[in-house]
Structure 1
Amino acid sequence: MSGAATLLRDVFGFDGFRPGQQEIVEAVTAGENTLSIMPTGGGKSLCFQMPALLRDGVTVVISPLIALMRDQVRALQELGVGAGALTSGNTPEETDAVWEGLEAGTLKLLYMAPERLAAGSVTGMLKRVGVSLIAVDEAHCVSQWGHDFRPDYLRIGELRRTLDVPLAAFTATADTETQAEIVQKLFDGVPPRAFLRGFDRPNIHLAFAAKNGPRAQILNFASGRRGQSGIVYCGTRAKTEGLAKALRDDGHLALHYHGGMEADDRRTAERRFQQEDGLIVVATVAFGMGIDKPDIRWVAHADLPKSIEAYYQEIGRAGRDGAPAETLTLFGPDDIRLRRSQIDEGLAPPERRVADHARLNALLGLAEALACRRANLLKYFDETDVTCGNCDLCDTPVEVFDGTTAVRKALSAMLRTEEWFGAGHLIDILLGNETDKIRERGHSDLPTYGVGKEYDKREWQAVFRQMMGHDLVRPDAARHGALRMTDAALPILRGEASISLRRDSIRAAASQRRPAVKAMVSDEDAPLLSALKAKRRGLAEAAKVPAYIIFNDRTLIEMAEKRPDTLDAMARIGGVGAKKLENFGDAFLEVINGAAAEMHPTRRKLAGRAAGSVFDQLREVQTTLSRGADGGEKPLSCSTSLLAKVAQLHAPNLDAIERILGEKRTERFGPAFLDVLQQAG
């Protein structure tokens, strides 16, 4: 696919595909129906954007959120690609520009929200403008049991049948059940060509911590990452507002976001997060699905997510540029009680509740893991060949002990009180604390009273939390949250199975060591990276676009480390395509080296390509021969456009050169030019 390689370099600014991208691009370009499951940040967008440029006609991209579409359109336009979106947020001028591009045949990608498919006129319009491919982003939204279900996604299958064009579906989160739904709803049950690129995001550091003063823990984590863009997810709207204020009081640039805000306030928050460097958004899960910001450096959960899929999707918003990113997830018994009750009290049928408990169990297993979190997480997605070294348990292996006796004592206390009490009262029984509640109920007479004095209260809290995490006990909403034993606990109670637990003493948040921050660049390069970010910020503000539309963090990091000193060198930096080199190359070279050297516009178009150095050699030869080999002839030269055409000859010979230069110039320069071309080839 030489055309794809050229587009990759000249338009998108990359020397090579990421793992798995090329085979997907080839299949989509060839018109095959495809389903691609790729990790967030794995380069999904390129897998439909590039085929759109390689194929005739228009590619319609169905995407769930306006903010996401607008960002992708702006990014493509910055690359010189004909792209537009038809959304309710368009200005009249933007909508007119889209129609003009469609009529003129210059628009290659048309983004639309699924809700527009409800209008009967849309299908006719898409037929008329020559749609040749449908790309569906976030394809898991078609799943009626998924937390991101969008009813209008169910119209996409009908659109595919009506237009009779291939469909390429993409998602980062789809278990086996959801994959089957996608195939049924989008492809009428006929399996498309499937690409499963794996779920690993090796650049993201994974960490969990038991709650102990969660506000202080989040402030501690954020303080070690001051000046970096981050998201803090909270379980309630009130908590987002309180924690955002606490972060601001601690000197951070922070704002809150939740579904109860006015629409204008939400849009302002989204815009600020996209455009400002180092901003922290404290949000409910209403925030993030439409955020296409590649340089989010960290994600923290102040409360336990709803499921392992939700966790994976939410942490996946960090580090989409491939640079290092970090996560921290806090959890405690109250989180587990809340998540269990949400499942039990929901309206889903019984079989769905069983599945939801299993998903929560997978997340709790990750939270209470005894070794490598990445291996634990990826095992859920059926990946077993895992290399980590980038999680808290690989950094500092935990101390593990045989918790069988402790768990049996706890279960015995539950059974002897007929499973009517929560962990607090049960711990008082085990410790032999003579509280009013114990005296009133006569629980000091129980055989289990005072049998657990080998542990203190916090250690018993950790044991009960881990028992909940291993799904040995569950809170019973009908008994006001009292703990009840599950079938999984019976083998341990009977002495038929053992269990290992973490020796979790739960240190005070104030005494915890501030987590080390992974530096994005060396100390030597840090000042230059800061200057490059300042230049990017100024250009982004002037253009009223997100900073990453100019260049993402990974590109700036490479600039700071490699310090290109010419446009040719700049063009070899990842993420610097021809259009961005033309628009921003000089400005960033000036930051790196001072004033940028002038370059003729024709030569600039060849920057970073082999033809560029050939052009330079041809110009030197021309200077030498401008008055002929003996220096006594009438001056003769070629224009820069002619030299550029010669430099780009693929099968050079004198006849080909003469067709460009004409007989007179070929007579003087042809043989020497041919030598240069043959040596370069």
Structure 2
Amino acid sequence: MESAVNDGQSTNGKRSESEPISPHANPENEGPASQINVKRTPVSANKGTETEKNDPIGSAKQILAKVWGFDEFRPLQEEAVVDVVQGRDSVVVLPTGGGKSLCYQVPALVREGMAVVVSPLISLMKDQVDGLVSNGVSAALVNSTQSDEQKRETAARIRRGEIDLLYLAPERLLTNRTLDFLTTVPISFFAIDEAHCVSNWGHDFRPEYRGLRILKQRFPSASVHAFTATASQRVRDDIAEQLDLVSPSVLVGNFDRPNLTYRMIRRDNALRQIMSVIDQHRDESGVVYCITRKEVEQTAAALSAEGISALPYHAGLDDATRQQNQDAFIREQVNVIVATVAFGMGIDKSNVRFVIHAGMPKSIEHYQQESGRAGRDGLASQCVLLYSGGDLMTWKRILELGDPSNVEEAMQNVRAMADLCTGVQCRHASIVNYFGQEFDADNCNACDVCLGELNLVDDPLTLSQKILSCVIRLKERYGVSYTVKVLTGSRDAKILESRHDQLSTYGLLGEHSVAAVRTWIDQLISQGFLERYGEYNVLRMTDSGRELLQRKGTVTLTQPAKSSGGRSARSSAADSWEGVDRGLFDRLRSIRSDLASQRKVPAYVIFGDAVLRDLARCRPSTLEKLSNVKGIGERKLADFGEVFLEEIDAYCGEHELSRDETIVVRSSGAVSGPPKPKGLKGAATEKEAFDLFSQGKSVAEVAKKMDRATSTVSGYLVRYLEEANVTNAAAWVAPDTIAVIEAAMGASEDGRLKPIYEAIAADRSVQDDVSYEEIRIVIACHRNRKTSTA
């Protein structure tokens, strides 16, 4: 009953699907027992009930909090969700990490019927379904890796109305058998992920996506929603036309990713430069992109030889090896994946802390997507691009092997990418400007330009004149490399044979490095004073360049700062760790890894890094407090709450740490947001403790009366002291102990408690042990006294 399976691998590493759903068919997901009890409202004609029309976002927000543990949608998510709930066709462009998935996953639990998600990758489908199931959502996928029995069970569950979201590849969906089967069940809407694949103008066109136009014909009452991370106006219009969308809502998010720090560095010693970035992110996940398969293999081997946990990934590997390497990376069994662009589209790994390009991508669209795989969880992450003038020629050779008629347009994209690399404007501003948006900040504080990692040349005009004069004297017949050799005084045989060592500009920049001179020529090109032309990319001067030669105009040239940006990179990463107890984070990470291995899912499906960092910041003392952390919904609280709480209890007991700390958000936004607002019960509990402390009750007395852990009550007390501005700790700490602590406070220059504790422990005159809780109490009162007298 099944048609032949076509599960081949395309040249860029994407798997394809052509087998339909069996009319009898279930993936390796849990059945109805895994569902979360969400009350859904029937949608009349897929346009929503009157309640949904009047308040389409109300039930969606309830589900967002109940299932995913978030109180609010991100920018533009709410508008996208409203369109889906109300059944209006839409095109949604949100950058990687912007939360596209929730835009269709939440409405699938609001609307009656089953939502169908179209995705090009088996790995992406499985990751998303694993994540949904772990949140208690009834989701399924069908692909050719499954047995006939699994497919039959899925089909049966669909007939029984037990599945809210079904994931399919476009090839499988478009078979007559699958389409016929789906017409027999209520379909609420279709969500098309990676929708730029629909457009011939997109950067990853796939002919099979064009067939999705039939959905509006076969399912006229179901709305269709296209989602992508990158699409120009031209591509957005083409998506709507090709899918035959009816008066679609078009939503375009902000292309800026403020948590990413961009650096564009001329490639010098690639391995050394790559290692420098990895050293800043030891034991963290990262991706290294290379242009060719050969470079992937060489780089992966070199990193492994340096003791880095790294594996290769490219379309030339056999299916089994490629899948094993990807799974090892996703499940945190390996830290670094070295890959061609065959890796990554739709990889739903949230905690990638760095992306390194060992060569220049072929377009800004590709760079936006590939670099955007870093920091999907909103935490600070680093994107470093190592480029060389030779990358242009590499891409030209690769493109000429493809469609010859499209080479010139593709090379325009390559040159735009080269201009970004060599430009001297803010990287964030340059990227969003390229996509037609305005950047509203003077300094992003998150790129090599704005961080001052590129030094300005003192006299760029004179330096530019020297370079332009050399191009003129070479009669505009040579490329960048040859011009650099002349300027730096090379004794290359060709230069001597051509007698170019006799030119007045020969050796004019001999005191500078070849890399520096190449960079300046690239910057003159990017600023429009020079241009490459012809088959051999020879240099010639533009009209603006001729004016500059006469000292008319303004030019900016830079050179790398001696610091190479390492300090700024570490500072940015440090900001995102502010307030996190690293020891506790590592313990929680280990627990997460164990749970993920047991369940055979990626680690981030259990909890993302952002959740673990918040847990290691606030150190919740109860399940109620733990539920207040963003990203922990009801199902995950039930499944994992006790396990993580036990680990937090044990760690805090070992280190005498306070509990239920408030998360402080820096103005830079580097630190993730505070926990969700406390419920009335939580607020009343703390108020009760404050009332008891105001009566002079001790920590032990309050803990006993409230049936709370001593460490939790100590945390209440410190907050009470701060709010009530108490200056005398005598009600809670013995006077002799107060004197001992205050005498030892000078041992800590940065406010840390450990130096004070150790100084007291080393003082043989002190007879009794002093606890960390007592030190905190005394310091809080001491700080209040200083504030009062200031």
TM-score interval for Structure 1 and Structure 2 normalised by the shorter chain = 0.7 to 0.9
Per-residue CA deviations over 1:175-206 (Å, capped at 9, x if unaligned) read: 11111111110135x54111112111111111
Compute the RMSD of aligned alpha carbons. Answer: 3.0
| Residue equivalent to 2:557 | 502
Of residues 112, 118, 122, the one that matches 1:66 is 122
Q: Which moved more, 1:520-529 or 1:21-30?
A: 520-529
- Counterpart in the other structure of 2:478: 421
Q: CA deviation at 1:220?
A: 1.3
Secondary structure at the aligned position of 2:287 is classed as: strand
1:315-348 deviation per Cα after TM superposition (whole angstroms, max 9, x unaligned): 1111111111111111111113323555577535
- Aligned partner of 2:82 in structure 1 is 26
In the other structure, the counterpart of 1:383 is 437
Q: 1:82 is matched with which residue?
A: 138
Amino acid at match of 1:169: A
Paired amino acid for 2:320 = D
Aligned with 1:263 (options 319, 336, 339): 319
2:661 matches 1:593: no
CA distance in 1, matches of 2:449, 2:598: 44
Counterpart AA for 1:549: V
Is 1:141 equivalent to 2:205 in the alignment? no
Aligned: 1:181 with 2:238: yes
Rate the CA distance shift 1:418–1:95 in 2: closer, same or farther, 3 A: same
Offset from partner CA, 1:596-636 (integer Å, 9 cap, x none):
9xxxxxxxxxx9995977999xxxxxxxxxxxxxxxxxxxx
What's the counterpart of residue 438 of structure 1?
495
Aligned partner of residue 128 in structure 1, secondary structure = coil
Q: How does 1:539-558 map to 2 (within 5 A)?
A: 539-558=595-614
Find 1:108's aligned residue among 158, 164, 174: 164
**Aligned residue number for residue 536 of structure 1:** 592
- Aligned counterpart for 2:538 among listed residues 480, 483, 502: 483
Distance 1:32 1:383, change over 3 A: same
Change (3 A) 1:434 1:5: closer
In the other structure, the counterpart of 1:224 is 280
The 5 Å alignment of 1:305-454 reads 305-340=361-396, 342=398, 347=403, 349=405, 353=407, 355-387=409-441, 388-396=444-452, 398-401=454-457, 402-433=459-490, 435-452=492-509
8 Å Cα contact 1:458/1:506 also seen in 2: no
- After TM superposition, the structure 1 = structure 2 runs for residues 149-160 of structure 1, keeping only pairs within 5 Å, are 149-160=205-216
Name the counterpart of 1:35: 91
Which residue is equivalent to 1:4?
60
Of 246, 265, 270, the residue aligned with 1:209 is: 265
1:459–1:546 distance in 2 versus 1, CA, 3 Å: closer
SS of the equivalent of 1:370 reads: coil
CA offsets 1:450-497 (integer angstroms, 9 cap, x no match): 555575544323323334544655666844xx6232656654476485
User: Measured at CA, do residues 240 and 107 of structure 1 come closer, stay the same or move farther in structure 2, by a change above 3 Å?
Assistant: same
Q: How does 1:563-578 map to 2 (within 5 A)?
A: 563-578=619-634
One-letter amino acid of the counterpart of residue 354, structure 2: W
1:640-661 alpha-carbon deviations (Å, 9 max, x no partner): xxxxxxxxxxxxxxxxxxxxxx
Code of the residue aligned with 1:575 in structure 2: it is G
SS for the counterpart of 1:205 is: strand
Equivalents in 2 of 1:77, 1:588: separation in Å? 20
Cα distance in 2 between the residues matched to 1:556 and 1:505? 37
**Structure 1 608/469 Cα, relative in aligned 2: closer, same or farther at 3 Å?**
closer
SS in 2 for 1:421: coil
Which residue of structure 1 lines up, in the alignment, with residue 760 of structure 2? none
Q: Sort the Cα spacing of 1:418 and 1:191 in 2 relative to 1 into closer, same or farther, 3 A.
A: farther
| One-letter amino acid of the structure 1 residue matched with residue 570 of structure 2 | A
Determine which of 522, 526, 539 is the counterpart of 1:465.
522
Relative to structure 1, the CA distance from residue 231 to residue 459 in structure 2 (aligned partners, 3 Å threshold; closer, same or farther) is closer
CA distance in 2, matches of 1:541, 1:456: 51
How much has 1:427 moved relative to structure 2? 3.3
Percent identity over the alignment is: 35
* 1:647 alignment partner in structure 2: none
Indicate conservation of the 8 Å contact 1:66/1:290, yes or no. no
- Does structure 1 retain, via aligned residues, the 8 Å contact 2:68–2:135? yes
Q: Is the contact made by 2:116 and 2:167 (CA closer than 8 Å) also made in structure 1?
A: yes
**Counterpart code for 1:205:** T
SS at match of 2:322: helix
Distance 1:22 1:370 in 2: 36
The residue type paired with residue 157 of structure 1 is R
Which amino acid in the other structure matches residue 329 of structure 2?
F
Aligned partners of 2:117 and 2:167 also within 8 Å: yes
2:717 aligned partner: none
**TM-score, with structure 2 as normaliser:** 0.71
Instruction: Return the letter of the residue paired with 1:84.
Output: A
Contact 1:414 1:483 in 2 (8 A): no
The one-letter code matched in structure 1 to 2:189 is L
State the 1:354 CA deviation. Answer: 5.2
Over 3 Å counting, the alpha-carbon distance change for 1:130 and 1:470 in structure 2 is same
Tell me the alpha carbon deviations over residues 479-516 of structure 1, each in whole angstroms, 9 at most, x when there is no partner: 4xx6232656654476485352433268799x987952
Say if 1:78 and 1:580, in contact at 8 Å, map to a contact too: yes
Aligned residues of 2:426 and 2:447 also touching (Cα < 8 A): yes
CA-CA distance at 1:425 after TM superposition: 3.3
Moved more, 223-232 or 399-408: 399-408
SS of residue matched to 1:273: helix
Structure 2 unmatched runs, 5+: 1-56, 653-675, 686-790
1:677 corresponding residue in structure 2: none
Q: Distance in 2 between matches of 1:595 and 1:561?
A: 13
Cα shift at 1:537: 0.2
Bigger mean CA offset, 117-126 vs 570-579? 117-126
Partner of residue 239, structure 1: 295
CA offsets 1:546-590 (integer angstroms, 9 cap, x no match)? 001111111111111111111111111111111111111100000
- The correspondence for 1:287, drawn from 324, 343, 359, is 343
Letter in 1 for 2:104: F
Pairwise CA distance, 1:147:
3.0
Higher alpha-carbon deviation: 531-540 or 196-205: 196-205
> 2:240 is aligned with what amino acid?
V
AA at the equivalent of 2:79: E
For 1:392, what is the secondary structure of its paired residue? coil
Cα distance, 1:101 vs structure 2: 1.5
3-state DSSP class of the match of 2:141? Answer: strand
Q: How far has the Cα of 1:133 moved from its partner?
A: 0.5
Distance 1:431 1:282, change over 3 A: closer
Matched, 1:94 2:150: yes
**What corresponds to 2:229 in structure 1?**
172
Contact 2:68–2:633 under 8 Å retained in 1: yes
Displacement of 1:12: 1.2
Number of residue pairs aligned between Structure 1 and Structure 2: 600
TM superposition shift of 1:81: 1.0
Cα deviation for residue 309 of structure 1 reads 0.7
Deviation of 1:157 after TM superposition, in Å, equals: 1.5
Deviation per residue, 1:527-547 (Å, 9 max, x gap)? 000000000000000111100
Mapped to 2, the partners of 1:285 and 1:194 lie a distance apart of 28
